[in-house]
Structure 1
Amino acid sequence: MRIDKYLWCIRMFKTRSIATDACKKGHVKIGGSNVKPSKEVFGTEKITVRKNQVNYQLIVIDTPPNRVGAKLVDLYRKDVTPKEEFEHLDLLKYSKDYYRKKGTGRPTKKDRRDIDEYKDDSHTDEHNELD
């Protein structure tokens, strides 16, 4: 079975064309080397798939006849992805800057509340100075 079809069948990718594009871009490796979408997959091969900034490591157990349900996926592959990969993903989520840069796009709801609060404070300060 072709590697792109295999990855689609075991529900690694939503569509087969996305699986093909991942192979073409070098996100899929067998034995440490990039593969073309037409590469044949056999049992006990170790596949590395880079998806969503995580390097998934899979071992082929068997090739399915066609796309299988989510409950049956573990019959055809074994996921040996180290836990450090997922911890790395969590760290990336926390390290991202959640606030947009100034001057780009519309204000968020939080920004709008801060602006309104600032305007209300400055308005009352002016009122107090006149009294």
Structure 2
Amino acid sequence: MNFKQIATYDNYLLANMTMGLMTENDIKCQLKDENIITMDPLLNAAVGGIKLLVEEKDHDRALALMLEAENEYLKTIPCPNCKRDTLTVEEKTNNPADFWGKLKNQVLFGQTSTYSKRLPLYSL
């Protein structure tokens, strides 16, 4: 069986919740580096976080399942400004092409490219 990484987490709670979602939907998965991060959270940047791995054949289905679960969760949270339930996630990938940008990311975050998600809140 070949496994492929689909997500990285900085805490074991969210990693195990997502793993439970995968196993409920008959997707074989495993967590890598969970024990290291749980025992010493300061090693998160050095190790690269807790990695969720799924079988290659289930990769697309697992990504779709995670996206669906995230969208369903966002529907339950009203916007603090306008009270509508139409929150969206803003995703940002920082993948520098030059040596110095990659070095900065490697030193600060433990990897050459970074990925972040946030909920943008706009005041009306």
Q: Shorter-chain-normalised TM-score: which range?
A: under 0.3
Normalising by structure 2, we get a TM-score of: 0.25
More strand by share: 2
If the length of structure 1 is used for normalisation, what is the TM-score? 0.24
Higher RCO (CA-CA < 8 Å; seq separation 6+): 2
